[in-house]
Amino acid sequence: MSATDATTADERILQTSPLRKLLGRPELGSVVGAIAVFVFFAFAADSFLRASSISTVLYASSTIGIMAVPVALLMIGGEFDLSAGVMVTSSALVSSMFSYQMTANVWVGVGVSLLVTLAIGAFNGFMLTRTKLPSFIITLGTFLMLTGMNLGFTKLIDGTVSTKTIADMEGFPSARDVFASTITVGGVGFKITILWWLALVAVASWILLRTRAGNWIFAVGGNQEAARAVGVPVTKTKIGLYMGVAFGAWIAGQHLLFSYDVVQSGEGVGNELTYIIAAVIGGCLITGGYGSAVGSAVGAFIFGMTSKGIVFAEWNPDWFKFFLGAMLLLATLLNAWVRKRAEATK
Amino acid sequence: MTETEARTALVELSGVSKHYGNVRALEGVSLEVHAGEITCVLGDNGAGKSTLIKIIAGLHQHDGGTLALDGEDTRLSSPREALDRGIATVYQDLAVVPLMPVWRNFFLGSEPRKGAGPFKRMDVDLMRRTTRAELLRMGIDLRDVDQPIGTLSGGERQCVAIARAVYFGAKVLVLDEPTAALGVKQSGVVLKYVAAARDQGLGVVLITHNPHHAYLVGDRFVLLKRGTMVGNHTRDSITLDELTRQMAGGNELDDLRHELQRG
């Protein structure tokens, strides 16, 4: 029986067309969307296709993308992090203020900032898994607390809403090289954040598709109780995902600090939604269990193209929000359709 | 069947009882599960089937009587311990993640890995190949192990769950109403796989309220009613009609028929 079954099974697999396979990919919709947006601005704005413009677009995409990647993983794991936006600012503030107040090498501040930011992420994950409250509430709380602490501590320590400059401190040039330098390729400067972004996408894709942890992320987002029943460490996975977001916030925060040399403590509010939107446009299901890291990168790229494309086309930037909203609706509708197809019982 | 009588049972319950506070959920239930045999537990809603499963699966501990595994008196403290002793339970609300591919679901929680250090990764080829091979061995002809498990029918999903338990070394398979939510044809498919698991030498506990399904595959029949055991038969000591009659309430059914006729 098995022998004949094997051959018939193989025959039937050959019948699955490549198109059907492609349609099953979570990032498909966003890739189509990205091509459409690209072509649109290529015609609408003469300067859009210049190398310098592409560099600007990629830079804008990367600053969103660095956070969209871990936010997408978290969303696949079935949770949100509303504190992601202000956490970037917190991370930059800790780094800057620690170095300045301790008159330490800025790398010490960078290291302390990593620990503190990861701790904030762990706190989010711990609170979520212990209280079993929705992540919306938990991270809304963290969001508000961090927003207050960012401003409060900065005013308390520095007397104003921005930190003191650390440009003349030891280690600043090398830290700037790592987090905020510009690499010139063929006469055009590309920001190093683009590399960080691509590296994060690669690592996140590897984790999702090829490691045990990736299997667990899909499982805790797709059916938490089933995952627990077969022995998946749900708590560990969720805390890990929140710490992943914190790690992204650390990179983005250090970039924020070293692109200038001061940090505005009120920044970051509202960005958490940008990251979530990028992940959703990229094909992540808002209810969890489905999505990809590459998709979130495409989502961030659509964001970058739209925000800069409107400028290149010399339109009123107010239209950006309109485009974004339309894109989000389209993406969500497409996702809902994908989900229905994937979950439908034959 | 006579030679199996002499063998030690994989699982043997004798006079097991369970109380929740002052509620008697189970009283004096005895049951044997042998390798290569199917023991059916029949009963209406509230008969104590779930409680019985939970004791065998290690979720609850029994208050009275004995539970012996391979002839050794045991008290299972957790589902994990039951699993380690080779008792796998497939619950009605199957432990699968609908949006994940079949092969990822098959190995969820016990993923095989290769490589070392930061490059330690799932052995995806092995997982795909094993999933296909194991399902084929159970006679499940799957089109594509990459399809989300949610696209399979209820019966197929049940079969994947059974194949999974078999692959991970279960000696005893406890199936909680595997045919309850299925149509006639699907039920037949599932029963075929239950029989396939039996033929591979597993002991199977089949919980059901359908005597027809039970009689198709069962070797032993335990009848529960309101927490007590009202019958314990081997296949050669009872007919389907008798089983159906007892299951349907025996004399109560006759009374009911009488009443309805007059009404």
The contact set of B with A (CB < 8 A) is 80, 91, 94-100, 104, 107-111, 113, 120-122, 124, 132, 136-137, 139, 141-144, 148, 150-154
- For B159-200, what is each residue's pLDDT tens digit? 888 888 888 888 999 988 888 877 788 788 888 888 988 988
- Asked if the model's pLDDT at residue A317 lies above 50, the reply is yes
- Per-residue burial over A72-88, b if 16 or more Cβ lie within 10 Å, else e, is bbbbbbbbbbbbbbbbb
Higher pLDDT, B136 or A207: A207
Cross-chain Cβ contact A2/B136 below 8 Å:
yes
- Tokens 């490549």 belong to A18
CA distance A66 to A58: 12
Cα separations (Å) of B98 from A81, B89, B153? 24, 19, 11
Nearest CA in chain B to A290: B99
CA distance A284 to A282: 6
- Per-residue burial over B199-234, b if 16 or more Cβ lie within 10 Å, else e, is eeebbbbbbbbbbebbbbbbbbbbbbbebebbbbbb
Give which of A17, A22, A211, A292 to mutate to test B binding, by max B Cβ within 10 Å.
Answer: A211
Contact residues for B52 (Cβ-Cβ < 8 A; gap 6+): B13, B16, B26, B29, B31, B41, B207, B224
List alpha helices for chain B, DSSP H: 2-6, 49-57, 79-84, 102-107, 124-137, 154-167, 184-199, 211-217, 240-247, 251-262
Contact residues for A150 (Cβ-Cβ < 8 A; gap 6+): A86, A89, A90, A93, A265, A266, A268
Cross-chain Cβ contact A344/B151 below 8 Å:
yes
CA distance B195 to B181: 19
Please identify, in words, the CATH class of the domain defined by A28-335.
Answer: mainly alpha
Average confidence score pLDDT of chain B: 84
Cβ atoms within 10 Å of A297's Cβ, excluding its own: 31
The DSSP 8-state label assigned to residue A188 in this structure reads E
- Tokens 């805790």 belong to A220
C-alpha B84: how far from its chain's center? 17
Please count the residue pairs, one from chain A and one from chain B, whose beta carbons lie less than 8 angstroms apart. 101
Cβ atoms within 10 Å of B11's Cβ, excluding its own: 23
Contacting residues of B for A344, CB less than 8 Å apart: 150-151
Task: Supply the pTM of this predicted model.
Answer: 0.82
Quote the pLDDT of residue B262: 67
B184-199 and B154-167 helices, crossing angle to 10° = 10
- Asked if the model's pLDDT at residue A8 lies above 70, the reply is no
Give which of B104, B108, B156, B199 to mutate to test A binding, by max A Cβ within 10 Å.
Answer: B108
Kindly report the nearest CA distance between residue A207 and chain B, in angstroms: 9
A2-14 and B124-137 helices, crossing angle to 10° = 130
Contacting residues of A for B109, CB less than 8 Å apart: 219, 227, 230-232
Cross-chain Cβ contact B153/A343 below 8 Å:
no
Quote the pLDDT of residue B225: 86
Q: How confident is the model at residue B75 (pLDDT cuts 50, 70, 90)?
A: confident
Contacting residues of B for A8, CB less than 8 Å apart: 141
Segment A16-43 mean pLDDT? 77
Q: Is A75 on the interface with B (CB under 8 A)?
A: no
Give which of B99, B132, B149 to mutate to test A binding, by max A Cβ within 10 Å.
Answer: B99
**If we measure between CA atoms, which residue out of A56, A59, A124 comes closest to residue A90?**
A124
Tell me the sheet residues that pair with B101.
Answer: B148
- Asked if the model's pLDDT at residue A39 lies above 60, the reply is yes
Strands B38-43 and B203-208: parallel
Kindly report the nearest CA distance between residue B120 and chain A, in angstroms: 7
Cα separations (Å) of B36 from A286, A302, B138, B163, B200? 46, 59, 15, 16, 7
Kindly report the nearest CA distance between residue A87 and chain B, in angstroms: 27
List alpha helices for chain A, DSSP H: 2-14, 18-23, 28-44, 51-76, 84-102, 106-131, 135-158, 172-180, 193-210, 212-222, 224-229, 234-259, 271-281, 293-312, 319-343
- What percent of chain B has pLDDT above 70? 94
Segment A299-322 mean pLDDT? 90
Quote the pLDDT of residue B90: 84
Residue-level length of chain A: 346
Cα separations (Å) of A185 from A54, A182, A191, A192? 12, 10, 11, 12
- Asked if the model's pLDDT at residue B66 lies above 80, the reply is yes
- Please check whether residue B39 is in contact with residue B20, taking contact to mean a CB–CB distance below 8 angstroms: no
Q: How confident is the model at residue B93 (pLDDT cuts 50, 70, 90)?
A: low
Burial class (CB in 10 A: 0-12, 13-18, 19+), B186: middle
Burial class (CB in 10 A: 0-12, 13-18, 19+), B83: buried
Q: How confident is the model at residue A344 (pLDDT cuts 50, 70, 90)?
A: low
Highest mean pLDDT among A144-148, A316-320, B243-247: A144-148
Contact residues for A23 (Cβ-Cβ < 8 A; gap 6+): none
Quote the pLDDT of residue A11: 47
Kindly report the nearest CA distance between residue A234 and chain B, in angstroms: 10
- For A241-278, what is each residue's pLDDT tens digit? 999 999 999 999 999 999 988 999 999 999 999 999 99
Segment A122-145 mean pLDDT? 95
Cross-chain Cβ contact A16/B113 below 8 Å:
no
Contacting residues of A for B58, CB less than 8 Å apart: none
Cross-chain Cβ contact A218/B104 below 8 Å:
yes
Segment A336-344 mean pLDDT? 65
Of A140-149, A270-279, B219-228, minimum mean pLDDT range: B219-228
Residue-level length of chain B: 263
Cross-chain Cβ contact A232/B109 below 8 Å:
yes
Q: How confident is the model at residue B251 (pLDDT cuts 50, 70, 90)?
A: low
Segment A179-192 mean pLDDT? 92
